[in-house]
Structure 1
Amino acid sequence: MKFSAFFGRLFQFHRKDQRFSLGNQSFERPPLPKKEPGAELSRDLAENEAQLKEIFGLPTNMDVVIRDFEIPALNRKALIIYIDGLSDRNTQNFAILEPLMVLGHDESGDSGDVIERVYQKLLPGHQIQRTKKRQDVIFGVLDGSSALLVDGGNEALIIETKGWEHRGIEKPSNEPVVRGPQESFNENFRANTASIRRYIRDPKLYTEILRVGKRSNNLLGMMYIEDIANPKLVEEVKYRIQTIAETVDYIPETGMLEEFLEDHPKSLVPQMLSTERPDRVAAYLREGHVALLMANSPFSLVVPITFTIFLHAAEDYYLRWPFGNFLRLIRSGAIFIALLLPAIYIGVVNYHQEMIPTDLLLAMTAAREAVPFPAFVEIIFMEFAFELIREAGVRIPSVIGPTIGIVGALILGQAAVSASIVSPILIIIIAITALASFVVPNYNASFTIRISRFIFVVLAAVLGFFGIAFGVFVLALHLASINSFGVPFLTPIAPYRPKNKDRVLRPRSYAQPYRPVFLRPLDAIRQKWNARPWDRPQADHSEEEDDHDS
């Protein structure tokens, strides 16, 4: 048995508090919070208007507008309610008020439901929802739509009139690529879902719209491909969202949503992928993952994830496989350097000087001769100073941010060396570590490495290489014991999944016939094994074809 498989089976266990697994084991859950049935609208227009004015706080609340008018074609009074600034006035004037007040033909003598007649004959809008619930009217108005109520009808028409100002589609700022799509999400919910649908033109791509937060009532889109994603995974994600929807007041952004949904919120390791690239979300949806998009958030979440996903970048798949693997090797080495290089320096200087060549040891000793502090204090001081510079570069205005970062680092490093506070070689160690930390493609994962680096520095200062080895062992145990929505975090390395070859190194695109096995997708076959039949004769691979079909 391979060591990775043994390691995964040894430390893959089900804790008492585990509530979900993609395997055969099932877990009982507490019931979802029961929703009280919402109040229905009245047939009396004056009563509905009074109730809506009380709910929205009119006339004190001046954002909400109620426009009373009469529909000559029906000889009935009506009202339209909307929020000024969220609704488009041209749509209201030319698609609602003008057809009802001016262009409608006389139907005052017709019998039947007045709402049905307005819906079928008088309103030209293409996106209209009929509802009897007062709560639906409130949500529709808060979302930017306009609600139409007619005297004598116990239904309202929610008319799509959203028209607020929003940021256009721009280049990704956190995940830029040289080759590949140059667009990112923005704060517009429908623009984000449409961006994903442009990459996956599949009728089986479903978007379930939920609301989170009892007071924020923020729209949340759960997207998945119905005939690929595992139904258990979809149900689990939906269950967690519906559970917190009625227990939390405000969830304004996906960063806060991530804390509520992840399996191990106290862990430093992120268990959900946050990305601003629609092409990357579409790629994971095609594999069987589930994506979460929120209104007013330019980032989406992808679940479940594994450790190897944090080694991947979108550009890896747009380049030829040798180039993409070269970048992944550099990225893997950078993660090792960013996590352990300062700790290794302290361990070597304090406890294992015999590992350093004599000439280099003499040079390092001469450089550190005038420094009054031990190596541990030097490292902590410079790491803290660099974190200050990094945070200052983010917070100050973008025009001078890069300049302040570069100048501040140069001046601080040169002044520290001149004042004999730190040694020159330590400046080199910190600079290489900082460069390596910037190579990490995921922002949340870089935080994990930055914080863990301080822990390894302390362990190296106390126990040398034994402390580093102990820290690596504990970190490996932790990674092997956590899950992301029922999927072991170290999959497909531990537990070992031989069919999923896209781990640290990426195989050729035509050599990946299977979707990730650990997701248990309904359709496990991504493509035929002989995607290049002109290159691999069928007669030579009959056994592979039989294995693929099985």
Structure 2
Amino acid sequence: MEKMLMYLNGGIFVKNFINLLSNVFLYKKNNPTHDFSLFESPNEYTPIPNDINDTLALPEENIFLNINDNLNYLKVRYNSLINSDVIIRKFTLVANNKKYNALLICIDGMVNSDLVNNFTLKPLMQKNKIARKKNLPSNVKQNSKFDLETYLFNTLIPQNSITKVTAFKDLISQVNEGCCAILVDTISIGFVIDVKGFSARSISAPNNEIIIRGSQEAFVEKIRTNTTMLRRIINNENLIIENTSVGKITHTQVAICYMKNITNNDLVAEVKYRVNNLDIDSLVSSGQLEQLIQDNPSSAFPQMIATERPDKTAEHILNGRVAILVNGSPYAIIAPGILIDHLSSPEDINLKNQYSNLLKFLRILATLITLLLPSIYISIVTFHSELLPTELLFTIAASRNSVPFPVIFEILLMEISFELIREAGLRVPTPLGTTIGIVGALILGEAAVSASLVSPILIIIVAITGICSFAIPDFSLSFALRIFRFIYIILGYMLGFLGLALGLFIQLGILSNLKSFGVPYLAPYIPATNKSNSVSYFLKPMWKDEYRPDFLNTKRKKQEPEISLKWKYMKGK
């Protein structure tokens, strides 16, 4: 006992206790023993001007005349001693009875080996002689001079896609995309050959934008396959597909697609300006690009259309919009994207306008229910119970009689639980996702009511809200409405209908001020237009839909003549 008192009095116990807490909660530097930590790693990237190893900013270095200089440059650039998939093949070719040293560079797995071996290396490595006709005039024979560059380009490389480059930056960029490059001694030009052959996912049915009547093809991760699908739908030479790259490290290929004879030139110029003026290291998806080029990144509402369907993309391109494809992403993003676009489904144009307009009306109703139903319930229960019929009021009061918590706790508990079930259903394997959603909701709701944590009518409110959120065709808009639903719940609990009216007024003002690539977000209603050719959210009969959207200010206003059903109205004329 005396020793324990001395131990405590000496402060040793307190000191050891403090050391224990500091070891658990405070960061300490590593001991000299091998204990790795990235926090203390002194390795920092400091770019050196004109440094050959600076891969973040390729120097504007031209290809050398000497093949050994080119070989050494590429070996250092690609770190050939440690990079196992980079192939640098030296060989000798014969032209005009003279031997030339050459090299081929490509990345294993990115190229088609048969094309490289049989249609690139084989013709070059065989002994070839230039044929000269003996019956040519003497002055032609004397003035004609053997040009190795022309000979290689026109005779020895039997490929349909060959590009000449003079800078290493262009050569390396295309090799990284899956091409191979040929460099020959005494020539300061590189021949880049398109021999891409990496594995890619085949075209399949859409996973998210499922429709009953319409195309069953979806974009894939390979950008050239996606542009081909657009070309198959729009069989017109005015479809322009411009390629660019984004990212100082990734050099991600981006394709900007539009109709030259329809799309407004200012819109095309604005899209290209934003895409080409991004100073970032990497870009791996179209979702990242959407966040970088939209007008108001802080707004929760989507300002561009994201779709995995080529037919929907082609429809918007033909209406005068610009589509952007990103290599490695199975989604296209389309500009501009306004509110009515996110409430439309690709199936609308495949149905009669009566059917489509009914579905469009249901989507508007589902949007309002998703956004406001829980907040209206909490406002009525808390502040405006006199609005309910007496029998319904007594039913609600009786159902909440055994619930010890305020209504705000009930509704937040169920809303958060529903969001968790929805998220869990998306993350688990597909066969289990539906099971988790249904069983989880049933069990959780029944258990919550049995435990008197929530009232039965609240389960109905949350279920209706969740079902309506699934009726919104655009995932991004649905997500935005789910976020604002919680804000309206808090406003309804604090101020009742006054809070809801205040929130709607502020939100309407914000949306009215929002633009997407120069187009008002609430167009064509705010600002209103008196033009007879104004496009509405609800569809006209297809044979009366003469004009393209006026807010896009397209070059060609009309998409069909006044009388398009010539078989019906022009008979006998």
Question: TM-score scaled to structure 2, two decimals?
Answer: 0.85
Structure 2: tracts of 5 or more residues without a match: 1-56, 133-143
- Counterpart residue type for residue 171 of structure 2: V
Deviation by residue 1:77-133 (Cα, 9 ceiling, x = unmatched): 11110011111111111110111123x632399943322211101111101111111
Out of 102, 106, 117, the residue aligned to residue 78 of structure 1 is 102
Q: Does 1:496 align with 2:524?
A: no
Task: Map Cα deviations across residues 287-322 of structure 1 (whole Å, 9 max, x no partner).
Answer: 110110000000111001221111111000001111
Q: What's the counterpart of residue 125 of structure 2?
A: 101
- 1:226 to 2:260 alignment: yes
* Distance in 1 of aligned mates of 2:215 and 2:149: 46
- Which amino acid is the alignment partner of residue 80 of structure 1? L
2:400 is equivalent to residue 368 of structure 1 = yes
Rounded Cα–Cα distance in structure 2 between residues aligned with 1:367 and 1:468: 25
Aligned to 1:518: 551
8 A Cα contact 1:492 1:500, kept in partner:
no
Checking the alignment, whether the CA contact within 8 Å between 1:353 and 1:361 is kept in structure 2 is yes
Which residue does 1:129 correspond to in 2?
163
- Which of 221, 226, 251 in structure 2 is aligned with 1:192? 226
Cα-to-partner distance string for 1:40-96 (whole Å, 9 max, x where unaligned)? 101111100100111111111112110111113452111110011111111111110
Any residues of structure 2 matched to 1:188-337 within 5 Å, and which? 188-244=222-278, 247-337=279-369
Letter in 1 for 2:120: I
Aligned mate of 2:474, from 430, 434, 442: 442
In 2, distance between residues paired with 1:529 and 1:372? 66
Equivalent residue pairs, number: 501
Distance 2:392 2:495 in 1: 23
**Deviation at residue 499 of structure 1 after TM alignment:** 3.7
CA deviation after TM superposition for structure 1 residue 441, in Å: 0.6
Which residue is equivalent to 1:87? 111
Secondary structure, aligned partner of 2:88: strand
Q: Distance in 2 between matches of 1:151 and 1:452?
A: 65
How far did residue 257 of structure 1 move? 0.7
Alignment partner of 1:508 out of 523, 541, 546: 541
Contact kept in structure 2, 1:78 and 1:148, CA below 8 Å = yes
Distance in structure 1 (CA, Å) of the matches to 2:532 and 2:62: 55
Q: Given residue 413 of structure 1, which amino acid in structure 2 is its aligned partner?
A: G
Alignment partners' CA distance in 1, 2:147 and 2:494: 81
Higher relative contact order (CA 8 A, sep 6+): 1
* Structure 2 counterpart of 1:18: none
Residue matched to 1:424: 456
1:354-410 deviation per Cα after TM superposition (whole angstroms, max 9, x unaligned): 111111111111111101111111111101001111111111222212111211111
Q: Which residue of structure 2 aligns with residue 12 of structure 1?
A: none
TM-score normalised per structure 1: 0.89
Q: How far apart, CA to CA, are the structure 2 residues paired with 1:472 and 1:406?
A: 33
Name the aligned partner's letter for residue 82 of structure 2.
Answer: T
Within 2, Cα distance between the matches of 1:363 and 1:133? 79
CA distance in 1, matches of 2:160, 2:570: 54
Of 372-381 and 490-499, the range deviating more from structure 2: 490-499
Question: Equivalents in 1 of 2:527, 2:569: separation in Å?
Answer: 31
2:69 aligns with 47
Q: CA deviation at 1:483?
A: 0.6
Q: Match of 2:146? A: 112
1:501–1:512 contact (8 Å) kept in structure 2: no
- Using the TM superposition, give the Cα deviation of residue 536 of structure 1 relative to its aligned residue in structure 2, in angstroms: 5.4
Is the 8 Å Cα contact of residues 213 and 347 (structure 2) preserved in structure 1?
yes
Q: Take 1:535 and 1:146, find their aligned partners in 2: how far apart are those partners?
A: 58
8 Å CA contact 2:534, 2:550 repeated in 1: no
Read off the aligned partner of 2:261 and give its amino acid letter.
D
Q: Match for residue 544 of structure 1?
A: none
Which residue identity lines up with residue 107 of structure 2 in the other structure? I
Aligned to 2:7: none
* Residues 298-353 of structure 1, C-alpha deviations (whole Å, 9 max, x = no match): 01110012211111110000011111111111111111111111011101111111
> Using the alignment, how far apart are the partners of 1:222 and 1:390 within structure 2?
35
Q: Is the 1:76–1:151 contact (alpha carbons within 8 Å) kept by the matching residues of 2?
A: yes
Q: Equivalent residue for 2:212?
A: 178
SS at match of 1:130: strand
Q: Aligned pair in 2 of structure 1 residues 92, 529: CA closer, same or farther (>3 Å)?
A: same
Q: Equivalent residue for 1:412?
A: 444
Q: What percentage of aligned pairs have identical amino acids?
A: 40
- Give SS of 1:72's match: strand
Instruction: Give the partner amino acid of 1:54.
Output: V
Say if 2:502 is the partner of 1:486. no
State the Cα RMSD in Å: 1.7
Change (3 A) 1:410 1:351: same
- Confirm or deny: 8 A CA contact 2:163 2:193 kept in the other structure: yes
Structure 1: 5+ residue stretches without partners? 1-34, 539-550
Does residue 159 of the first structure (1) align with residue 193 of the second (2)?
Answer: yes
**Given residue 94 of structure 2, which amino acid in structure 1 is its aligned partner?**
P
